[in-house]
A and B are shown apart, each in its own frame.
Chain A
Amino acid sequence: AQKITQTQPGMFVQEKEAVTLDCTYDTSDQSYGLFWYKQPSSGEMIFLIYQGSYDEQNATEGRYSLNFQKARKSANLVISASQLGDSAMYFCAMREGQWYAAGNKLTFGGGTRVLVKP
């Protein structure tokens, strides 16, 4: 079974509108972390946002927010007020276990390509 599933291979979004990228995960660990990364065409993975499994509040970082629904095992990324520079691949990732013990070995989903239209 896939540990991280991103069901949207590609999306168009109008500039200044919000977009939601779906991510579901599968783990039996109680302690885990969920991440979103952005990968522009230049190739580097850029960290966007992190949610710990014990965090009760949804994470927010500027225009990015993570809609964490633990019971449904989903961690959707919401980008508000899309900008042309948001056009990129977006990856959801999970770390199982505690980072200080197990290392931050991430399992990534297949990604969602976002194209922002002017």
Chain B
Amino acid sequence: DTGVSQNPRHKITKRGQNVTFRCDPISEHNRLYWYRQTLGQGPEFLTYFQNEAQLEKSRLLSDRFSAERPKGSFSTLEIQRTEQGDSAMYLCASSWTGGGSTNEKLFFGSGTQLSVL
């Protein structure tokens, strides 16, 4: 169990550029979540997948944001035409909902810190 892996750890980009982040969940986990955390705040839910299906998107996820999980394994989060307000830590989490668990426990990665200049 290597945990949730996110790449890159840091990304600096200029306003207007596109960026893509990758998340590799724990291998048997079927759910994958994206959260965004700005400085001094708690994380905010963006979207989540069950296997390859994107089940819900927050209204925080504008049209410039797109997330995919093509084979139900890793996921990518793309931001087009970045704005300074997109600067934040983007956190990925995964979970396993099988096995008769009474609760779904999220395992978080260390995040990708995005800075838009």
Question: B-contacting residues of A (Cβ < 8 Å)?
Answer: 4, 33, 37, 42-47, 50, 52, 91, 93, 99-100, 103-111
Contact = CB atoms under 8 A, between A and B. Distances in A.
Contacts of B107: 47
A109 B106 CA distance: 17
Interface in B83-107: 89, 91, 93, 95, 97, 102-107
Interface string B34-60: 010000111111001010000110000
B110 interface: yes
B111 A44 contact: yes
14 contacts: A4-B42, A43-B91, A43-B111, A44-B108, A44-B109, A45-B106, A47-B105, A99-B97, A103-B33, A105-B33, A107-B45, A108-B43, A109-B42, A111-B42
Contacts of B56: 103, 105
A52 B106 CA distance: 15
A45 B43 contact: yes
B110 A52 contact: no
B69 interface: no
A33 B103 contact: yes
B31 interface: yes
Main secondary structure, interface of B, reads strand
Interface residues of B, number: 29
Nearest to A37: B108
Nearest to A89: B42
Contacts of A93: 42
Contacts of A108: 41-44
Contacts of B102: 52
A111 B24 CA distance: 27
Nearest to A102: B56
Nearest to A4: B42
A111 B56 CA distance: 25
Given A44-B108, A50-B105, A108-B41, 6 more contacts: A37-B108, A44-B111, A47-B105, A52-B102, A100-B97, A103-B33
